[in-house]
Every structure is written in structure tokens, then in C-alpha cells.
Structure 1
């Protein structure tokens, strides 16, 4: 998810913003410092975190800055052009721009682009491009005309593609738009006609990003929709004027009636920032959209309005509101459906991989070097339609045996198939599983679990591919198969997860003893328990379960409830469940879920089972807090985050019930004491962090002569 943080305003007393707003906001070679160029005579260097200017430079009266100032990242110097042809270069020590380096060029400059990793690039109004070094060596060199007469540059952007500088600029002539791609090292220039549709009002806003061999050009049309055009970087036809169509990306993100105050910027490959009113009669808003899932992530109303200018660098957005430059930090999280609807499943080292999928790029004749992207899609569909029932040796015999033969015969045929199976035959695995489930539904006595286990272990199946499998295992109370499904399937619904939890908590210990359950996530507690008993008085990460600052809680902790189990009295030294049940519960902890969907199902679990699960979770938590790295031993143990999340889930869903159970009284007391001690620990850690931060400042470089500062150092 994306989020907009609290905004703040930079001091703009030295800026003289004109009716067109600012010329630009560009980063300097130092972090957190930006060059702001107004539409008149002034350039200001700001340090954003301090919210104050570090320096200000102005051209003399009668001169006008005509393109935004940029930083030469190779030298640390600043560059600006005034009166279209006069180029000036200076550094932080310079005070007067009239006394710095000056070069008068032979043609008008449209824009100077500068990014990390290469020299600045000068784009002339005629469409010609020059590197700064070559231009300074001969300022009066002849500049050729690239674009035709009456064609005007409207927008440009500079990229680094595999360490090669690439420039794109958009031109307009009589309502028609053209894109030029300039490969700076090879000097190749390609021209494309942009088919933007019927734009009736203002010029469309543009933004772009690079995706492998294409430039993704996005435009905000007059209808308030965002469109995307894919332009190839490397074109085989550099002479002909090729046409590029656009496709709808986001529908009506701003009001189509908005003529001003509209802009957009790509934040990353999945998020885009849009400035403009969402409805005709509404106020302006700054919003962040997820273009991958076409969803609005966050928005912020701007009642004072803006100039329709938007810049972003790093994780900071800049926009002009009147004569105030507003800074809004933002955060964009991982763009995934799991992140939007549920919790991402943590991938620990050694865990089983997610289901395999066909790599279409490795299929013969489907490589990008042989076909275009559209042709590849067509070939993929044809392969799916014609080869889903490919002639895999033994597949037809197995499918035929599933319909009528015995379980033993089916197992033999399945072993033959799996001996020849490869991940590319994944469709057959789905057909076999579907056939087995169909017969199980028709014949209730038919349950070939010895066939289901190897099919799941191929890592091809998922819950959505065989939704009846886990329901069938729940009917037969097959906890072994359920544990395997929980470890392999990444898309299990919360209702099924809760049903598995109810079964794992209710099944008797005697029934679990003879089952072959995977114990990878469980370690031997006995040796660790002895060590903890010997060190019971030692504080583990600031917490001693015997100690308490609350006298009432301490007094109550020595009172044994009438029906309190032994495990509740000694949560530190004894595990409340047997190891095999612990392994099943750990499979639940590792499963992915969405809190909103899971909570209603947890309310149906019996109170005694909720108490038992809470005791086990608290036991694991104390084991984690007893280790310096805050982790449990074993191959695939639950993480501290998973343990805490489930404690919160159970208490949120059943707090009133748990509060009324005598057996849970001591457990809640221990949880209260633990949380209270952790708050105290983190408070002290925060004080130490502040102290170290202040001490680090003492080791910074000494200030230059003639300056002084007053510093207050406060140590807690």
C-alpha cells in the first residue's frame, strides 16, 4: 500500500514565482538537497530536512532564466541557461553569477538534462542534442535543425538504459504529437507519431519510465483518463515515421473538465501520482494509484489549489501551491495482490518453493528474438489450447484407471507417470487430481490418500486448482494431508485455515501418536527447558516472567485457579501441547491470511481450545524472547512476527470469552506483564538511540574558519 505522510512548506521568500509557476525542481549531488528555479531570475538550493535554503543565486536585472538549473553529478557544479543562449556554470562558493563561467551558444536551448552516471545533456529547441563537454569545447559550433518548422518541443526526459544514455522528447505541430528517441552514444534518432485521439483542450501531460527495451510513455488526456504508449528504444527503421497507438491504463482519475492544476508522475513501475480534481465540482487532490491493479491507494485534498506542477525524487513529492513550495514525503509498498488483500507469506530458507509455472520464453520458437510480444501471446494461447492434453506417456492409462480401477492399481500407474513427469506437464497433474476428487465425490468410500500425497509434493497444485482436496481431507480428519497442503498451497481461504485449526486443536493426543507428521518446525524443548530453569532469575531481553512491577498482579500470580492446568502455572518451562500437535499448529502459523477475513471464523473456536492455543503461542513467545536473536531453533520454526500476530488475532476475536475463563486468568496476567516490560525496554532503547545520534554528530567534519555554531548536547 502507498501512503502520503505529513506535508511541510519550504521557505520561499527568495523565490519570485511568476504566473507559470516554477521552471523546475532538480536534485543536487548531495542527498536531501534540491535546486529550485523560479520563472524569473532566481535559483535557490534547499536542504529539505532542515526546511531552509543553503544558497541563492540570481541573474541581473533584465535577464531571464529560460530553463531550470541542474547539477553536474560528475563535478558537483551547477548549470543554468538564461536568455535562451547564455550558459553559466558555478559552485557553492560562488556568490555572484556575473563572475562565474559563461558561454554564449549559437542556438537556443530548450532544456539541460542531468542524471547520475553520465555527463549532462543539452537539448536545443531545434531538436539537436549535445553533450556538455563537447559543447563547452566549442560553444559557437553549428547546431543542426532536427525537427521540422512549426514543431515545438513540449516535454522531454533523460534515462540510463543498461549504462547507455537515452533521451526522449515530445513535439507538437497543429495538434499532432511526435516522439523522438535519441540514443546518445550511437547518435541514432527515431521518430514516432503518437496517436493520442481527439484531444480538445489543453496539451496532454506526459511522464515515462523504462521497461527493458521499451519506454512506457503515459499521458493524461483531456477526458481525465491515463493512457499508455509503448515506444521501442532500439528501432530497426530510423527513417520512416512510425505510428504508436495508445491504450487505456486508468479511467477517469481526474475530472475531464479540469483545464489547469493537472499533472502526473510515475513513482515506480507500479505506482503513479496524479494531481487534479477527481470530480468536476471537487477540490484539487494529490492521489497515488496502483496501475498494476488499477486501484486508488491514497489521496490528499489540497483546498488551496496548485499550479499544476508536480515533481518527485526518491520518496519526496514537490508541488507549488500559490507561492509556497510544498513537500510531501510518501511511501510505496510492494505491489502485489497478497499485499493488498492479505499478508505476504514469509519465505524462509529451505522452505518449499511455490508452484512451478511454464517459462514461455524458453519454449521453442517463442523467444523474444523470434516474435513480437503480441505474437508470443497468440502462440501461448494456442499452446494452452492444443497441448493441455499432450501425449504424455502413461497419462491416458492413468486417467482411464482412475475411473474404474482399484486404489492399488491407480497408485502403480501414478508412480509410472511421476517417474517420467517434468514441471512442463503440470496440466496433467491437475487433470489427475480432478479425476480422483470426482471419483471420491461419487464414491464416498473411495479415498486414495497415497495418491494425493505425491501429487501435492510435485509443487504444482494449489487450492484454487483443486478446491475440493482440503475439504475432503477435513471430512476424513486427515491431519497429515492437511499439514502438507498448508505447507504447499499459497492461496488457502481463511475459512479452510480456521477449519484446519479447529481440527488440530480438537483431535486427541492418542490419535496423533501413531501418525507420520512432519516435525521440521518443532525442536526438542527438553534440553532448552533445563537451561532456562537454571537461569530463571536472568532477564531475557528485559523480561523476567517471575518479576512484576504490579503488586496486585504479583499477588494473583501465586493463586492457583481451581481448574488451572499445570501448563498454565508454568508457561516458561513446559510446552502445553505434545510435539506432533505443535507441528500442526506451526503449519497454521506459517499460512498466509487476511486479518479481516480470518477474524469472523476464529470466533467459532471453543473457549478451551482458544486458551490452549494462546498458552502455546505464549510459550513460543517466551522461547523467542529468551534468545538474543529473537528466533526459535529448528529448520522451519514460526517467526516472532507470526506468533505475535496470532496472539493479537485470538485476543481480538475472543477477548470477552477468554476474560471469563478461570483457566486463562493467569495467562492474561503473564501477557500483561510481558507487554509492560517490553514497553520499558523499548523506551530505554530509544533513549540510547538518541544519545548515539548526538554523539555521532561530534565526529563530523570541522566547520570552516570564520563560522561558529552553538550546539546543545543532551544525554538521557
Structure 2
């Protein structure tokens, strides 16, 4: 079986004015599974950390220049490679700021794509079909480039793979309605050329995808009529003369997708594994035309395994890296995790009951004592079950209500009965599709709670959230209901377990937490680890003074600029100096213990700056000052004791604290400058920023020193006694 999990937004899009394309030229893998490089269709390249949903770096060519192929990351050299204006190859490193000042080389022929694989050499494919290794090309950029393709033949798609320790470039071309496949081996340099069988007159493939399996390249291609074909190309070496001849390429029809009336215009099929294909832009069989879906099909049994409707226009683009699908739609680039289990007839028909492994992304329901004490392997098999055990199970199944019956109970029964039936349902191990069941239960409970003020089941809702089968998109009113009922424990659980809480809801939680009286907050029963962290942080005595984490309280006044920005000398008496040097900034937590715990949950919630800032502006100046004072308190505690974050408890990081400081200042800077009680606070925060800048600067120097040491060649034989002078700069 295959499954699509709850997705999230990586970034916004700026589609072309004609809305014909998404504005994205390509997405490529970077250093690891959590980093990707996104190239737009005009001038910019952006590095994203996927799990944080944040851009780390961005580079742009000058006005009037255009990036004509997607940028790639060369894992061998730790450099990025892109092509602008078809002929200018640009190479730069992550620390480079200006793309125009990086390395450039102009070649003699137009480039189609640059390809790079982890551990492989970067390869340049020219528009006329020639292939060169990047290093070989850069040694003589103006070397003549041969023409492999015929006059009216043009490349439509390309990729590269590593098979049997050899690198191949695969590209397809079109000439007067005929489609060809080229397989270029780099070492030794051989070329294989094949002709695809013709489809209906006037139809050319919309997309191609390739994978390597069993000494063959498996080429998958989708036609506008919904036909998905597969062709196998052997990677066994052919001579150059043989490869230049267009050989017929047999094909096998894998899927006949429903397209409704007319033909597909923007759709794509992507190989996930040997039995599963992801297809975007094709109508769902049961939804009808007019709606665009992302679907995973099992090609062995031609069954639909998972489907997800995509809001907004589909552009027929899809990429996959590390079990994540990247899909532009509307004005959004979405990341959708997926899972494909091993294909079998039982799983295709939904009859396979598999034990869940730790690696499975599907969340586990309520664990049994057997699992907790002995692990899943210790579960008794059916062959050794006693008759009494089987009889008890049959009796329990007969007495248990189905999911539909429990939903009906929720709509009318008293609170006690609802809690009893839902808990009984969750305790059963035979629930089919736990995620769907939990979402229906939660939605029905929330719907009745909103309609009936006298009905509320906090423990049941908390238990449903604990299953980790819920998210905000499935039950969007749950967090707002918890805020309305002042159920702060449920709010905390939602902030912890929901990966897709919108920024507006995050700000609603922040406003509720910061404005509620400390007396009300102390009545809430919160998650123990988070409370323990704050108790430890508040109770800890001030540590030894010194420069820790880039900030020293004793140096506080040395970093403070003149209050009026005039650059004059601040006159202080010896008594004042002694008092200020011995007394650090305010160390008292400005909010109560439980309120601090709830604010920490807001600090640790994922967000996007662009969407969060407008909602932060709704906070009053008093609340902003109070929140900044709390952030200052956390920063000072972290600065005095570097072990503040190392207790294994749930706590915000120093980076998250500083990010929120910057966000609040960006949203309310004008108001804070005009607020008298905020003047001292702003000066303190200015000192924090200076200390962080100094810390990063010193760390950069240390990094440079370590890199120079790493580059030095170690002498094996230095004798019994030697003196070496190491010059770092």
C-alpha cells in the first residue's frame, strides 16, 4: 500500500502572467535529504532547508540576464552550477553573496542542462545533443562542440543516472512528430539511440521519468490521452556506430488513466519505486473532471493507492527527494511526504495486515502492554493462543461498536458515555485506517462542542491528539475550540503535535497566552517535561560571570551605545560603575511559570516570516513589551549557563528566541521607539544582537583556522624531536 501524508508549504510562487507555468525552472537535491535548491524561471536560485520551511541563501543574476537551466549542487566540490543566457556557466559557493562576482565561463554552444549526482561528476548537455564533463569543458570553454541531433530535432527532457559504477545521460528528442531516446555512456563514450512507437496522430509525451533496475533503464512516459507506457533500455555497451542508429524501442502499457472529456494539458508521471508511480494533474476516477489531484498508482495491479486534491492550478511539474514530493500548484510550492510499501496482491486489494515497524511513518495507535514490555516480536502467534483468549476476543468484538456507531453516539449521548465509547474504540487493535477514524471522531466532537456549550470532552480530545493521527488541516477548529474553552493543556498538545498550524492560529494562541492572568494559567495542568524545564530555569542560581554564548553581563555597559545615538561619552561615577558591573540585567521572570511554559510552545511552533508578521501587528504594545521582556529573560539565562538547553526536556532553542525577538521588532519597531518604557529594553536587545554578531564572527575565525589545519599535510616522520611553526593567516 502507498500513503500520502499531510503536506506543508515550502515557499510561495510567482506564476507567469499567462499562468501557463509555475515560475519554477527546477528543484535539485543538495548536500543531504533535508536541503534542496530551487531555481525560478527568471533570475534567482534559492537554497531551502525543507524541515524548517525556510530559505537559507539566495542568489540572483543581474537585471537583463536570465537563468536558462536549473542550478545543481556539485557534491564533490561543494559548489553550485548554473547557466545563464544559454552560454554562461556560473559556479559559486554557499558563502558567496553576489552571483555576478563568482566564477563565470562562456562556452561556444548553447547549453540545455547541467546534471549532477551525489558522488558523480557534473555533466553538461548541450542543446544539439553533445555531452561534456564539466571539468573537461572548463579546461577549454571555447572548444568546438559537435552537433549530434538532426536539423529539426530538439531536446524535450533529460536526466542522468549511475548504473553499475558508470554514469549515463539520458535525454529525449522530438522531430516532426517522432520521439527519440538517447542513452549516452560517459566512460567509455558510447551513444545508443532509439525511436519511440507513435501514439495517436499529433500526440507527444507530456512527461518522462527514468529509473535503473535489473541492468536496464526503465523509461516511463505519459501521453495526453492518459496512457502511461514503460520502455526498458539495456545499459550494456553498444559501439558508437551501432548507437547512432535509431533502433525501435518496444513499450508496455502500464496504466490507462481516466482523463474525462478532452486531453490532458499539464500532467506528469514520476517513478517512485518498481511498483508505484506518482501522477499529478490527472482527474481522480471518482471525483470527475475539473479537479486536479496528486495520486499514487500501483502499476503491478493498476490500482489507485492514494489521492490528494491540489488546490489551485496544476502546472504539470513534480519532483521527489527522500520520500517527499515537491509540487507547485496555484501560488504555492508544497512538500508532501509519502510512503510506498512492498507491492503484493494482498496489499493492492486492501487485505494485507502487516505489523507496523518503527520506520513506518503511519503513527501507532494505543500501544499494548506486550509492545511496551517486550516489543512487537513478543506478541503471541495465533497457533499458541488458548481457546479462552479466542473466545474473549470474539466476545469483545461482538460488544464493540463500529466507527459509524460511535459517531452517532457522539452526536446525541451524554459526555460520560461519549468518553467511554471513544476510549473503547481507540483501545481496540483491529481499527482499519486509524488516521481516517481519528479525524472523523475529532471533527464530530468539535462540531458538537461548538454547537452545544454544555458539551465538552477535554480528555477524549487530548487522547485523539496523542495518537498523532490528527493535524490542523483535518480538524481546523480544534485549537480555536480549546482557546474558547480555556483548555490550555489541549492547546499545548496541538502546538506540539500539529505540524501545519497556520500563523494566524499561532498568533491567536500567543495573544491568549500573553493576555491571560497568571492565576488562570497556574490552574492549568500542562505537559510535565515543559514545566520541569521552566522550574529548573527559574530556580537555578546565577552562574559564574564570564563570556558565555557570546554575551557577558559584566560587559553589558561596554556594549551599550549612547542612549541618544550621539556618540558622546557617558559619564558614570565609580559607585555606579561598581554597582552596574556587579549587577547583571533583570533576572526575574516577568511572567508566571505556566504562562512561560505556554509561551515556549509558541516559540517552538513552525512558521513562515511572511505570513506571521501581519498577524503579529495585532498585538498591543503592552503585550509586545512583556513578550520581549520574557525573551530577554530566556536569553540571559541561556547566556549565563550553556547547559540550559541540555536537560532532555522540551525547551526552545537560542536561535528560536532570537528569531522571535527579530520578528517582534520588525512588526512593532515604530511603536516601541515611541514607548518610553521600552527604551531600556531596546538598548538591552541591541546589546544582545551585538554579542551574537561578535560570537558568530569569532566562530567564523575558528572555522577558518580549523579548515586551514585540515588542509595541511601531516608529516608521517618528524623524528624524535621537532618544532613546527603553523601560519594560519
TM-score normalised per structure 1: 0.53
Q: Which runs of 5+ in 2 are unaligned?
A: 1-37, 46-58, 60-98, 235-246, 258-262, 268-277, 280-311, 318-323, 353-398, 564-568, 574-582, 716-725
1 CA distance for matches of 2:156 and 2:179? 9
2:713 matches 1:699: yes
Kept in 2, the 8 Å contact 1:393–1:417? The answer is yes
C-alpha displacement of 1:644:
1.9
Q: 1:535 to 1:480 in 2, by over 3 A?
A: same
2 CA distance for matches of 1:527 and 1:440? 37
Match of 1:435 among 424, 441, 444: 444
Match of 1:177 among 176, 179, 186: 179
2:404 matches 1:406: no
Kept in 2, the 8 Å contact 1:532–1:573? The answer is no
2:675 matches 1:675: no
Match of 2:678 among 652, 661, 664: 664
C-alpha displacement of 1:178:
4.5
2 CA distance for matches of 1:692 and 1:666? 39
1 CA distance for matches of 2:596 and 2:408? 41
Secondary structure at 1:364's aligned position in 2?
helix
2:524 matches 1:515: yes
Residue 608 of structure 2 corresponds to which residue in structure 1?
594
Residue 559 of structure 2 corresponds to which residue in structure 1?
549
Residue 159 of structure 1 corresponds to which residue in structure 2?
161
2 CA distance for matches of 1:358 and 1:21? 40
- How do 1:218-229 and structure 2 match up within 5 A? none
Residue 231 of structure 1 corresponds to which residue in structure 2?
230
1 CA distance for matches of 2:494 and 2:597? 14
Q: 1:438 to 1:530 in 2, by over 3 A?
A: closer
Secondary structure at 1:521's aligned position in 2?
helix
Q: 1:635 to 1:607 in 2, by over 3 A?
A: same
- How do 1:55-70 and structure 2 match up within 5 A? none
2:419 matches 1:420: no
Match of 1:364 among 346, 349, 361: 346
Kept in 2, the 8 Å contact 1:521–1:635? The answer is yes
2 CA distance for matches of 1:29 and 1:524? 41
2:506 matches 1:497: yes
Q: Any idea what the Cα deviations from partners look like across 1:464-492, whole Å, max 9, x if unmatched?
A: 22222222222222212211222222222
Match of 1:193 among 194, 197, 214: 197
Q: Any idea what the Cα deviations from partners look like across 1:650-709, whole Å, max 9, x if unmatched?
A: 1112222323334333221111112122223333443444455556555399xxxxxxxx
Secondary structure at 2:683's aligned position in 1?
helix
Kept in 1, the 8 Å contact 2:489–2:524? The answer is yes
- How do 1:97-246 and structure 2 match up within 5 A? 159-161=161-163, 175-179=177-181, 192-195=196-199, 198=202, 209-210=210-211, 215=218, 231-233=230-232, 241-242=250-251
Kept in 1, the 8 Å contact 2:553–2:585? The answer is no
Secondary structure at 1:160's aligned position in 2?
strand
C-alpha displacement of 1:539:
0.7
C-alpha displacement of 1:408:
1.0
Kept in 1, the 8 Å contact 2:154–2:173? The answer is yes
- How do 1:371-410 and structure 2 match up within 5 A? 393-410=401-418
Q: 1:418 to 1:557 in 2, by over 3 A?
A: farther
Residue 623 of structure 1 corresponds to which residue in structure 2?
637
Residue 704 of structure 1 corresponds to which residue in structure 2?
none
Q: Which runs of 5+ in 1 are unaligned?
A: 59-63, 68-109, 112-124, 126-150, 252-268, 271-291, 298-332, 346-353, 371-390, 559-568, 702-712
Kept in 1, the 8 Å contact 2:196–2:248? The answer is no
Kept in 2, the 8 Å contact 1:156–1:167? The answer is yes
Q: How many residues align?
A: 487
Kept in 2, the 8 Å contact 1:542–1:677? The answer is yes
1 CA distance for matches of 2:611 and 2:114? 44
Q: Any idea what the Cα deviations from partners look like across 1:523-563, whole Å, max 9, x if unmatched?
A: 45676678762412x111331123223463596999xxxxx
Kept in 1, the 8 Å contact 2:465–2:493? The answer is yes
Kept in 2, the 8 Å contact 1:603–1:654? The answer is yes
Secondary structure at 1:420's aligned position in 2?
coil
2 CA distance for matches of 1:453 and 1:670? 40
Kept in 2, the 8 Å contact 1:358–1:423? The answer is no
Match of 2:455 among 446, 449, 465: 446
Residue 464 of structure 1 corresponds to which residue in structure 2?
473
2 CA distance for matches of 1:425 and 1:335? 26
Match of 2:486 among 477, 481, 498: 477
Secondary structure at 1:177's aligned position in 2?
strand
Kept in 1, the 8 Å contact 2:533–2:651? The answer is no
TM-score normalised per structure 2: 0.52
1 CA distance for matches of 2:712 and 2:400? 72
C-alpha displacement of 1:407:
0.8
Q: 1:446 to 1:578 in 2, by over 3 A?
A: same
Match of 1:635 among 641, 649, 657: 649
2 CA distance for matches of 1:25 and 1:176? 25
Q: 1:21 to 1:420 in 2, by over 3 A?
A: closer
Q: 1:543 to 1:498 in 2, by over 3 A?
A: same
2 CA distance for matches of 1:692 and 1:479? 48
- How do 1:683-694 and structure 2 match up within 5 A? 683-691=697-705, 693=707
Match of 2:497 among 480, 488, 498: 488
Q: Any idea what the Cα deviations from partners look like across 1:99-136, whole Å, max 9, x if unmatched?
A: xxxxxxxxxxx79xxxxxxxxxxxxx9xxxxxxxxxxx
C-alpha displacement of 1:517:
0.7
C-alpha displacement of 1:615:
1.6
Q: 1:529 to 1:572 in 2, by over 3 A?
A: farther
Secondary structure at 2:695's aligned position in 1?
helix
1 CA distance for matches of 2:184 and 2:432? 43
1 CA distance for matches of 2:483 and 2:551? 40
Q: 1:191 to 1:610 in 2, by over 3 A?
A: same
Kept in 2, the 8 Å contact 1:157–1:169? The answer is yes
- How do 1:646-657 and structure 2 match up within 5 A? 646-657=660-671
Kept in 2, the 8 Å contact 1:586–1:637? The answer is yes
Secondary structure at 2:179's aligned position in 1?
strand
C-alpha displacement of 1:413:
1.4
2 CA distance for matches of 1:30 and 1:400? 58
